[in-house]
Amino acid sequence: MAQINYLNFKASAITLTISCLILAASAGSFYDEMDITFGGERAKILNGGQDLTLSLDQYSGSGFQSKNEYLFGRFDMQLKLVPANSAGTVTTFYLSSQGAGHDEIDFEFLGNSTGNPYTVHTNVFSQGKGDKEQQFHLWFDPTAAFHTYTILWNPQRIIFLIDNIPVRVFNNHEAAGVPFPKSQPMRVYASLWNADDWATQGGRVKTDWTKAPFTASYRKFNANADKVGANSKSTTSENDNQTWRTQGLDGAGRNRIRWVQNKHMIYNYCNDRNRFPNGLPVECSRSRFL
């Protein structure tokens, strides 16, 4: 910056200001933020870019991805899941890089037969390795109204939140040899697809195609995050709220996550000794909240 003369600096500042204004004006528009990746007309952007629906039928699901790549940030999306008999369907909202050694941070919503609860499936991949699943049943009906699902990702930890209530924390334990996603930029992805070989009660309940098309709705996407440009260097985030960079759990957050994990967690890989007969993963003994 010291090498840039005053006039160039002033011009750059004006350009940055204009860019920020454009970003603010387009925030939340799916036209500006997302590309449809598969499913054709099964993915629909509605209401001038404020809403997006994904549909699944017996021929195809549908999905979209962010135009931008990010390296750390807070990512919020409001979802309303497939109602009634959603058995066999999987609705997703996640971050992922590309390639065999990819990183990924997952929210997956596993449908169920009418009257039975959705399963919220979370996972973290680093350098192509996952196997860090936790699952929850929600304390509300996720098909009746929109709720906000958040992935907060900074160099110290990943926090999964639902309506701003933390449900899971995955801390950075690289010092103990546990890979942590920190160097590969990721895009935001979402999809609706059929996984009736495993999604509902271990694959015992199949998709009822007479109920198709199945539809999930998305709105109010916000990425307060570092975008990564063509030169692979982070740019400034889209607004001035930078608390996500160092955010952890305060006392209230710890109380909330205790409540969620005590009352609503249905699977934790760190308790699955049958799956890890030679010893639980290293991080399981190092974090109270995983």
- Give catalytic residue positions: 104, 108
β partners of residue 217: 53, 80
Cα distance between residue 96 and residue 104, in whole Å: 4
Q: Which residues, other chains included, contact 25 with Cβ-Cβ below 8 Å and sequence gap of 6+?
A: none
Residue 52: Cβ within 10 Å count = 24
Q: Residue 253: name the closest of 170, 168, 173, 172 by CA.
A: 168
Q: Which residues, other chains included, contact 217 with Cβ-Cβ below 8 Å and sequence gap of 6+?
A: 51, 52, 53, 79, 80, 146
**CA-based R_g, the chain, Å:** 20
